[in-house]
């Protein structure tokens, strides 16, 4: 047992307290009657049907790593990008059928969504609700447990205001800047940072950021203030006396450099690696884990009101509202079409 | 005949049941089913929640003291707050409450029970404040639908207090468990029945997502007067009892000979200095108790703990002056 405010010194005592109060006689509700017991799931026929039709299970080898949403009948599925991009052997399952190979064909870093493609025809595509204006206290359903044939629902409610989740620690280029006599030089630069991906390297000298000349570290902080994840910024730098211009896509500080675990993190089980820096989300209280993210957020009718994009902690999960999700999907499909000619129909 | 008998028998049983539990007109009918019968029942739960949520949320506050923060709930127009003992941290502590609308108000903790994790806090400012009804008659049963509110991880105006829905899954005498997931910052926050009446206060969690423990309201009711009176109850793990003799004022004194205690020295950066005591002041009384000499004063201070609030009556330049301060740590 964990005391939720001052945890460390009293952890053991807490356990003793709970044990004693519960051995002295208590009543308990059998698991099938609980909020997410089997009897509650029996009431969720329509969401369950939707999950089996248009949610996908994403595997890396044999391990379930995320869920996804079918957005086109020819094998296009969206999922949470940061959960799948590091896996090489992606497979997916829709209903009882398994599909492989699976390729990542487009990515939206701001929303952390990517588009997967596999060879398939005649898939049922996501059925959207008219809007994602769902009041707090409204029932919602997500992907719960999975078997080879079945998708089980998991129940919760909308639990807070829809809002922006600013990037933990702000949006960054992803470089450590050293003030040298010769100018501002790049020190550490993580390989997954926006700056590295745009071609910048250790030792490069920064001259301009977003068209503004910079001479000291504070200038950079000033320019980066109030920026958003996914925003693109022009960086001019010197490498071996040659001037180079690059366009850097910003990422969250915690996502780039890593973050210290807070006490709330330690009591949250496994949470999403990327859980901040979203332009607008719905918040719900569905119990899950890191691998239950990426699928649809449904209403009791089985209509999609959003896409689960992060399990932030034990009590808070985020979903992209359907309005923004439609835009994300059409952008991803357009991006994929640029590369391949076979994506034709826009999602309904 | 057999069926008739059986029906009669069942009738009697249900009668006995009904008498056992006083009828509660506000009770959500779905609560009397072991599980909702269909989507209509689920929508009835949803409708009940939505109708009471705004008022419940308005009365839910974030409590800040020292480095951490917890939650609490206002239960009277003049600003009495119920919270957890480990949030209040002690008796007569200075606490800031952030109301749902973002207003910050000063509070002081009243009594607490360190064995069950219950505590009261009082807003010092003038009301009226938004508040909720307390289910003092203890009408909630195992399996009832309940919802929790709390400022998870601290106050966030854009988010508001997060609401979670679940059932009461375990009921013991001094602890309830629900499947409404809680996290740090929710401590001290309210658990409600579906009529929006306060039935418990969040206390602690286990690693399992279903282990969310609350202090039931009956536990508050049991010690109500002592909590209001500012008593520190029990020697449990949820609050540390102030240790007598750890308090430190930081003055040097001498007996003036005619029954007065004269301040001769003020410790640098001591609480006495901060509170404005001066060399040459005469200490007349502490907490209303007249002091005849230095020895009596020392004895009196020995009974006090660090951070304990005391009121000193002084004579300065022939005039009486009262100073209230919190003792430092020895």
Burial A210-224 (b: 16+ CB within 10 A, else e): beeebeeeebbeebb
Specify which residues A89 forms β-bridges with.
Answer: none
**Number of domains within chain B:** 2
CA distance A190 to chain B (A): 29
Distance CA A114, CA A107 (A): 4
Distance CA B129, CA B72 (A): 13
ipTM entry: 0.84
Query: Between B6 and B113, whose confidence is greater?
Result: B113
Which of these three, A223, A254, A285, is where a domain ends?
A254
DSSP-derived letter for residue B134 is B
Distance CA A222, CA A108 (A): 26
Please say if the pLDDT value at position A259 is more than 90. Answer: no
pLDDT tens digit sequence for A144-153 = 999 999 999 9
| pTM listed for this prediction | 0.85
Q: Do A72 and A208 share a domain, yes or no?
A: no
Q: Do A141 and A200 share a domain, yes or no?
A: no
Please say if the pLDDT value at position A11 is more than 50. Answer: no
Q: Do A65 and A155 share a domain, yes or no?
A: yes
Q: What is the CATH number of the domain that holds A307?
A: 2.40.10.120
Comparing A124-138, A265-279, B228-242, which segment has the lowest mean pLDDT? A265-279
Tell me which chain A residues have a C-beta less than 8 angstroms from the C-beta of B208.
Answer: none
Tell me which chain A residues have a C-beta less than 8 angstroms from the C-beta of B159.
Answer: 160-161, 163, 283
Whether residue A2 is contained in a domain is answered as no
* CB within 8 Å: A35 and B206: no
Q: What is the CATH number of the domain that holds B128?
A: 2.40.10.120
Whether residue A347 is contained in a domain is answered as no
Question: How much is the average pLDDT of A41-58?
Answer: 96
CA distance B212 to chain A (A): 9
**Number of domains within chain A:** 3
Q: Do A318 and A214 share a domain, yes or no?
A: no
What is residue A2's predicted lDDT score, i.e. its pLDDT? 55
DSSP characters for B46-65?
A: HHHHHHHHHHHHHTEEEEEE
Q: Which residues contact B300 (CB under 8 A, 6 or more apart)?
A: B286, B287, B289, B291
Confidence band of A5 (pLDDT split at 50, 70, 90)? low
pLDDT tens digit sequence for B188-213 = 999 999 999 999 999 998 888 888 99
Q: Do A143 and A63 share a domain, yes or no?
A: yes
Distance CA B157, CA A164 (A): 12
Please say if the pLDDT value at position A20 is more than 60. Answer: no
Closest CA to A237 of A201, A263, A266, A264: A201
What is residue B264's predicted lDDT score, i.e. its pLDDT? 93
Pick the most confident of A18-27, A92-101, B247-256, B276-285.
A92-101
* CB within 8 Å: B183 and A264: yes
Please say if the pLDDT value at position B3 is more than 80. Answer: no
Alpha-helical (H) ranges within B164-223 are 217-222
pLDDT tens digit sequence for B72-82 = 999 999 999 99
* CB within 8 Å: A25 and B172: yes
* Structural domain that includes position B251: 247-329
Please say if the pLDDT value at position B21 is more than 90. Answer: no
Confidence band of B241 (pLDDT split at 50, 70, 90)? confident
Which of these three, B220, B241, B262, is where a domain ends?
B241
Q: Do B102 and B46 share a domain, yes or no?
A: yes
* Structural domain that includes position A194: 171-254
Whether residue A3 is contained in a domain is answered as no
Q: What is the CATH number of the domain that holds B300?
A: 2.30.42.10
Share of chain A above pLDDT 70, in %: 91
Whether residue A344 is contained in a domain is answered as no
What is residue B14's predicted lDDT score, i.e. its pLDDT? 42
Tell me which chain B residues have a C-beta less than 8 angstroms from the C-beta of A13.
Answer: 237
Which of these three, A254, A283, A307, is where a domain ends?
A254
Interface of A with B in 273-312 (CB under 8 A): 283, 285, 287, 300
Which of these three, A191, A219, A254, is where a domain ends?
A254
| pLDDT averaged over every residue in chain A | 89
């Amino acid at each position: 047992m964990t005391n939720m405010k001052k945890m460390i010194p009293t952890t053991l005592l807490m356990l003793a307290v709970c044990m004693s109060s519960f051995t002295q006689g208590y009543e308990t509700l059998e698991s099938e009657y609980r909020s997410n017991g089997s009897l509650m799931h029996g009431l969720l026929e329509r969401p369950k049907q939707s999950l089996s039709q248009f949610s996908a299970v994403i595997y890396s080898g044999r391990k379930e790593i995320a869920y996804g949403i079918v957005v086109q009948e020819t094998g296009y599925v969206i999922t949470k990008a940061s959960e799948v991009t590091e896996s090489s052997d992606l497979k997916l399952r829709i209903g009882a059928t398994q599909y492989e190979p699976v390729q990542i064909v487009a990515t939206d870093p701001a929303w952390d969504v990517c588009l997967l493609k596999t060879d398939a025809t005649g898939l049922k595509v996501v059925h959207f609700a008219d809007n994602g204006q769902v009041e707090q206290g409204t029932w919602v359903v997500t992907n719960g447990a999975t078997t080879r044939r079945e998708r089980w629902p998991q129940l919760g409610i909308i639990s807070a205001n829809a809002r922006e989740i600013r990037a933990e620690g702000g949006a960054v280029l992803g470089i450590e800047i050293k003030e040298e006599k010769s100018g501002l030089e790049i020190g550490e630069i993580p390989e997954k940072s926006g700056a590295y991906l745009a071609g910048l390297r250790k030792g490069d000298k920064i001259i301009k950021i977003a068209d503004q000349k910079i001479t000291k570290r504070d200038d950079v902080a000033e320019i980066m203030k109030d920026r958003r994840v996914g925003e693109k910024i022009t960086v001019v730098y010197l490498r071996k006396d040659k001037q180079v211009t690059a366009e850097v896509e910003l990422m969250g500080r915690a996502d780039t450099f890593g973050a210290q675990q807070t006490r709330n993190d330690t009591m949250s089980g496994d949470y999403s690696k990327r859980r901040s820096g979203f332009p607008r989300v719905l918040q719900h209280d569905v119990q899950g884990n890191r691998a239950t993210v990426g699928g649809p957020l449904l209403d009791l009718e089985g209509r999609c009101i959003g896409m689960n994009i992060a399990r932030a902690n034990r009590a808070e999960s985020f979903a992209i509202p359907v309005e923004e999700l439609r835009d994300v999907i059409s952008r991803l499909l357009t991006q994929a079409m640029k590369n391949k000619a076979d994506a034709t129909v826009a999602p309904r | 005949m057999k069926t008739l008998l059986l029906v009669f028998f069942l009738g009697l049983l249900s009668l006995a049941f009904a008498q056992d539990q006083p009828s509660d007109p506000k009770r959500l009918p779905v609560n009397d089913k072991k599980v909702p019968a269909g989507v209509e029942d689920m929508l009835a739960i949803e409708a009940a929640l939505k109708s009471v949520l705004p008022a419940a949320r308005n009365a839910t506050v974030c409590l800040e003291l020292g480095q951490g923060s917890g939650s609490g709930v206002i239960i009277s127009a003049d600003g009495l707050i119920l919270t957890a003992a480990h949030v209040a941290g002690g008796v007569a502590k200075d606490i800031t409450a952030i109301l749902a609308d973002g207003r910050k108000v000063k509070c002081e903790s009243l009594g607490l029970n360190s064995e069950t994790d219950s505590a009261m806090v009082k807003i010092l400012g003038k009301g009226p404040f938004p508040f909720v009804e307390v289910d003092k008659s203890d009408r909630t049963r195992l399996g009832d639908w309940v919802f929790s509110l709390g400022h998870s991880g601290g106050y966030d105006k854009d988010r508001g207090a997060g609401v979670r829905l679940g059932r009461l899954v375990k009921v013991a005498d001094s602890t309830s468990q629900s499947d409404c997931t809680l996290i740090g910052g929710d401590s001290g926050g309210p658990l409600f029945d579906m009529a929006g009446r306060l039935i418990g206060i969040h206390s602690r969690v286990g690693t399992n997502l279903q282990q969310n423990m609350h202090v039931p309201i009956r536990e508050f009711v049991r010690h109500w007067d002592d909590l209001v009176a500012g008593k520190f109850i029990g020697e449990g793990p949820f609050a540390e009892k102030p240790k007598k003799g750890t308090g430190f004022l930081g003055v040097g004194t001498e007996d003036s000979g005619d029954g007065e205690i004269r301040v001769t020295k003020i410790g640098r950066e001591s609480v006495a200095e901060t509170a404005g005591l001066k060399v040459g002041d005469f200490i007349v009384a502490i907490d209303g108790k007249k002091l005849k000499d230095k020895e009596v004063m020392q004895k009196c201070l020995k009974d006090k703990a660090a951070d304990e609030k005391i009121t000193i009556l002084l004579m300065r330049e022939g005039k009486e002056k009262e100073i209230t301060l919190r003792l430092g740590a020895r």
